[in-house]
C-alpha cells in the first residue's frame, strides 16, 4: 500500500471532531500528509506491508483514514485530545455498517451503548419492518486479546478482562440467552494470537458469537502497521438485517 491520495481518504465523524478540537495540529488531510512526506523513508517500508481488499469505495476511504491515524498512534506522533482509538474504531464500524446498509431503506444503525437493556452491545441494527424492532447486535473491540486463560482473568485489570477472548465468549453466550432470536456480531480491528493455545481461545469466540468480524486478518504482531484488511463477509450481516 502506498500512502493514499487525499481523495482516497474520508474521515469518520469522530475523526473530524478530533481534528477540529482546539490545539490539534491535524486539522486537515493535508496536515497529516505533510507528516507522512517528512517521514516517508522510515514509514514507507511499513506501508508496503499493508493490503486493503475492500470493493466499496467509501468503506475503503474510511478504512484508509483509520489506518493512517492508527499508524500515527503507533508512531507516538499524535496525542488525542478528545477521543481514544477504541472510540474511533467504534465510529469506523458504525460508518462501515451504515454504508453497507445504505440500500436497505428499512434498516438503520442505532447507538445503544450504556442504554438500559442493551448491556454488552454498542450498536443494534434496527429494522422498521421487523417484529421486535431489531435484528442484529454489534459489540466493538478495537483489539481482542486471546492470551489470558479464563482461570486467571480476575488477576488482571478491567481493561484486560474486557478485551480477553474468554470474557468475550461469556458475553456472547449471555447475549444469546437474553435475546435468543437475534444475531450478534463481535467486531474488532485486530486480534492477538501467536501460538496454538491462543488460537484455540480465539476460535472459541465463534461458538459464542454468530459472526466474529476481524478487520485486520494479519497475525504478525511483531511488526506494526502490517495490516491485511478484508471485509468480504460483510454481506452476511446485511442478509441478517
Spatial separation of the C-alpha atoms in residues 133 and 9, rounded to whole Å: 34
Confidence of residue 119 (pLDDT cuts 50, 70, 90): confident
What is the chain's mean pLDDT, rounded? Answer: 83
pLDDT tier, 164 (very low <50, low <70, confident <90, very high otherwise): confident
pLDDT digits (tens, 9 = 90+) for 50-104: 788 898 999 999 998 898 888 878 777 777 777 888 999 999 999 999 999 998 8
Highest average pLDDT, of 7-16, 84-93, 192-201, comes from 84-93
pLDDT exceeds cutoff 70 at 218? yes
Q: What is the dihedral of CA 171, 174, 175, 177, to 10 degrees?
A: 160
pLDDT of residue 2: 61
pTM score of the predicted model: 0.87
8 A C-beta contact, residue 227 and residue 218: yes
Question: 165: Cβ–Cβ under 8 A, 6 or more apart, which residues?
Answer: 144, 145, 146, 148, 198, 201, 202, 204, 205
Residue 181: count other Cβ atoms within 10 Å of its Cβ.
8
The per-residue pLDDT for 89 is 95
Give the residue with greater pLDDT, 99 vs 7: 99
pLDDT at 158 over 60: no
Amino acid at each position: 500500500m502506498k500512502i493514499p491520495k487525499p481523495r482516497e481518504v474520508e474521515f469518520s465523524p469522530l475523526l473530524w471532531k478530533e481534528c477540529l478540537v482546539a490545539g490539534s495540529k491535524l486539522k486537515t488531510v493535508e496536515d497529516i500528509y505533510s507528516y507522512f512526506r517528512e517521514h516517508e523513508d522510515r514509514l514507507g517500508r511499513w506501508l508496503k506491508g499493508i493490503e486493503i481488499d475492500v470493493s466499496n469505495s467509501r468503506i475503503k476511504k474510511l478504512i484508509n483514514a483509520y489506518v493512517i491515524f492508527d499508524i500515527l498512534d503507533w508512531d507516538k506522533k499524535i496525542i488525542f485530545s478528545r477521543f481514544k482509538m477504541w472510540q474511533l474504531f467504534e465510529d469506523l464500524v458504525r460508518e462501515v455498517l451504515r454504508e453497507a446498509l445504505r440500500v436497505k431503506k428499512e434498516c438503520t444503525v442505532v447507538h445503544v451503548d450504556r442504554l438500559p437493556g442493551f448491556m454488552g452491545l454498542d450498536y443494534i441494527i434496527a429494522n422498521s419492518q421487523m417484529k421486535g424492532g431489531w435484528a442484529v447486535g454489534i459489540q466493538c473491540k478495537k483489539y481482542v486479546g486471546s492470551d489470558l486463560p479464563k482461570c486467571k482473568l480476575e488477576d488482571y485489570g478491567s481493561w484486560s478482562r474486557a478485551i480477553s477472548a474468554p470474557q468475550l465468549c461469556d458475553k456472547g453466550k449471555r447475549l444469546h440467552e437474553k435475546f435468543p432470536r437475534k444475531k450478534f456480531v463481535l467486531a474488532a480491528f485486530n486480534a492477538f494470537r501467536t501460538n496454538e493455545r491462543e488460537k484455540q481461545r480465539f476460535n472459541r469466540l465463534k461458538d459464542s458469537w454468530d459472526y466474529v468480524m476481524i478487520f485486520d486478518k494479519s497475525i504478525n504482531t511483531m511488526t506494526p502497521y502490517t495490516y491485511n484488511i478484508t471485509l468480504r463477509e460483510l454481506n452476511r450481516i446485511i442478509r441478517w438485517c
